[in-house]
Structure 1
């Protein structure tokens, strides 16, 4: 099988404990024609020096040092600096199995697709499986975008959403970039990328090893207002589904936002004014969505007046 250059983009920030292991797993890929791009996102620890040292040992490694701009910005810089026909993203505290890129590339070639994705092995910081991958939905199959998008809302649907267990043809990322400054950045663009690809080859191979809830990682920071970016991403996804005529996905997308709003207003009072203001903004945006059935509009109007009243009427009148 002819090998075509694949660019592996690794955003780097405050991961000096994990960086060498991550890069080593890329260097040891059975797929040989790689360009490894380490994007030092202004890391304040020893990562910049580690990147430079690794580059002196392997001519495939290219290092970019930049001011801190966040994960999305680092990925976008890596995309612009890449020269491969295909791209892979690896977070610098994770690692990948030896055959991941070879198998993904074989999948796109054999199925004639522009994207392939593989299974994810969830591990702790020592590399031991956590069980988070049990019951994974990823099987050996080639699916249309229409088949994949509903799976976002199934158990472990995140495996279809995340950016880092996939191989992309670079044409998919020419006009779609990760939103700078946002958390949950994958959720802003996943549907658009899959829709643009049209069909996606899926392989039941534990190719990506995801370190769950590392201390100091973005996802381990609780009650941060930036976690609400996921709700903003859902609202953007809702409007995208309207644009492409995927009406059957609208209800489930709205339901996820409404559930979060209900949990917020029924939960303990927040002491964070910034968090409160962001939730009010999301509430307004939800109320302005178009294409909402009359029954749901009535329910939302009541909820906007009084969440308690909405709860009572929902139980008694089954709105």
Structure 2
């Protein structure tokens, strides 16, 4: 079998049929769709079974709830295809997505193939999301030169190009060779850990630039628009996994990226929570780890520079005050607020 498409399913009743319809419309042949019901408490398990009854291409795995990583791993264990694709159950694949990616993978013998994607906003507006990378094949030397510098986290305190698994195709032989799977105890942002390890080991990578073959829908209540309880502990655990995996690599120095990775998630939790107790907890952890000792600040926006300065100096009350106001204020308005209210004296 050429391809296995793994689709984790959990509480996506409004979107599941739309997603599977797009997968059944794929122009490639000899593929399977694995719907992994992750103990969904709604009608999704029934919908999965109904969809599977209509075609031999769909197989359903029912399991107890374990999170997105656990669901994807269950799909990996059951997959029979030579290549593995992942699709989120509230998104849509273009009809020729996997035919094009399979052709690129086979002709280039690539371990990973990545396409661009379309971000579909809640308003219905569509925008092609692309990267600064050139199109085409990357040999190992190219991967080290162009992907490694932001494999875990970029100097601009944002992800590099190789992050989300849902617009990538992977050789199953490659995944098995390096025992690549998802960490079951990382229930969200799990792509970051998996993609960093996959990108590190890949010998050949192919980029289908400007080909928006995947439609990513901005749906309400997603992880990217919320901060689940215990998020900071999860992000610290993920950073420890990355440290254990990358800290002592002899072929490339990832230590700066590991610092930026932890700082990124500290900023994320602080911006999402906006509660003084939570902010103090994050800042205390960074202080106890001597995080800012000899740390070179990244080249980021003025607003973020101010936030990082306040974090470095343990200004939890000030951060709570600033983040509690409208997040849409301009940088100039933020600076004026700091000066006008003499806010630095409140640290």
- The TM-score range, normalised by the shorter chain, is 0.7 to 0.9
2:180 to 158, 176, 179: 176
The answer for unaligned runs of 5 or more in structure 2 is 297-307, 316-347
Alignment of 1:115-264 (within 5 A): 115-125=112-122, 128-129=125-126, 131=127, 133=129, 136-137=131-132, 139-143=134-138, 144=140, 145-146=143-144, 147-152=146-151, 153-154=153-154, 157=159, 159-174=161-176, 175-182=179-186, 183-204=188-209, 205-212=211-218, 214-222=219-227, 224-226=229-231, 229-258=234-263
Deviations 1:180-233 (A, max 9, x none): 132100111212111222221111211111112x21222222364326634543
Structure 1 residues 217 and 261, CA, compared in 2 at 3 Å: closer, same or farther?
Answer: closer
Alpha-carbon distance, 1:84 to partner: 1.0
SS in 1 for 2:103: helix
| 8 A Cα contact 2:147 2:161, kept in partner | no
Q: Tell me the TM-score normalized by structure 1.
A: 0.78
Alpha-carbon distance, 1:56 to partner: 0.9
Alpha-carbon distance, 1:125 to partner: 4.6
Counterpart of 1:78? Answer: 75
Answer with 187-196 or 120-129: which moved more: 120-129
Structure 1 residues 260 and 190, CA, compared in 2 at 3 Å: closer, same or farther?
Answer: closer
Counterpart of 1:271? Answer: 277
Structure 1 residues 265 and 308, CA, compared in 2 at 3 Å: closer, same or farther?
Answer: farther
Q: In 2, Cα distance between the equivalents of 1:14 and 1:264?
A: 24
Aligned length: 290
The answer for unaligned runs of 5 or more in structure 1 is 298-302, 311-319
Q: In 1, Cα distance between the equivalents of 2:22 and 2:274?
A: 44
Q: In 1, Cα distance between the equivalents of 2:75 and 2:22?
A: 19
Alpha-carbon distance, 1:95 to partner: 1.0
Task: Please tell me the root mean square deviation across aligned C-alpha atoms, in Å.
Answer: 3.3
| 8 A Cα contact 1:42 1:68, kept in partner | yes
Answer with 275-284 or 176-185: which moved more: 275-284
Q: Tell me the TM-score normalized by structure 2.
A: 0.72
Alpha-carbon distance, 1:106 to partner: 1.2
